[in-house]
Structure 1
């Protein structure tokens, strides 16, 4: 009896993950700056196309339904490969903001402190909006809820709210996997039954 080849085993499939691929893999050596977007974009498109992963980025590889758990698992694995956690994203932004703060005016005379405080509140609002701009669209509902708050919370409070949402999703995803395991939909369970 011939062994069945799955999507994740076929090197021509978008679902195939080579053993050298991982979330930390650098696809292009050129870092994105404001001046080099066109060349960086071309290099990224080529790199993703060669690895047969462009469909996960442009949305042409759609999420499969629950009828094929192994295909759904492969899709999740590939789709999550390019996503950065909220913590990593926030840490990168925070580092940049701290560097920028070294170039902002500091009150040394004691008479301009009120103006500096107002400017700092304005910067906090800018930080929140910049953070929201880089978030995955899946956070649009919680982002909208935060923007409806009368006085926009500080960036640290906003980060806390977003990270809480991310953790709830991870917990929900693990719970779905557990439910599948309990109902006998586990890949390991199904393959052992076929013996």
Structure 2
């Protein structure tokens, strides 16, 4: 059997082959909606509530004196066609800044009854919103300027630009089959191919069986995934000949 290409994280979709329905990591049916339901959001807020401690450097509410709205966290702007690459880069940058909780909904807008917490939230929210807007093309930036929360901005961008997956998948497939080694070194050619396959695996995750005992459907899924790895190798070696 050919060695599988290295994965880029846990992007596979587990499938319960009794029902044939994709499931989440917790075993529950995976939601097809990009926005969480009210019950899911409520459950998430109960289990992942962020404590308010702006003096602690490991707390998301903490802001270093050097943090300012003029920072550019990613080297390229979102122009509408590069959403997944941009979102990945922004997620890593915001994670380094310990501000992911402001875009994934873990930190909600607090009531003005607690003025200290509200003021700290507003400052952090505006800082993160400024970072996001600065990483967008001018037209896209103007389109989200009046959204109050970073969570709202993030989800608006996701709903608008991740819907183009179908067309991007077609483009990537064409690029994969048309990219030749040419004058590139073997390492450069492999890197180009891997980048395209990695992006494709994010847009169209593979599935795997989670049944305790391997079922017939699970064996078929394994066979399909093995065939995909063989396709990668055959295309790679074909254009290096």
TM-score, length basis structure 1: 0.40
Q: Computing the radius of gyration over CA atoms, which structure comes out larger, 1 or 2?
A: 1
Higher relative contact order (CA 8 A, sep 6+): 2
Q: Quick check: which one's helix share is greater?
A: 1
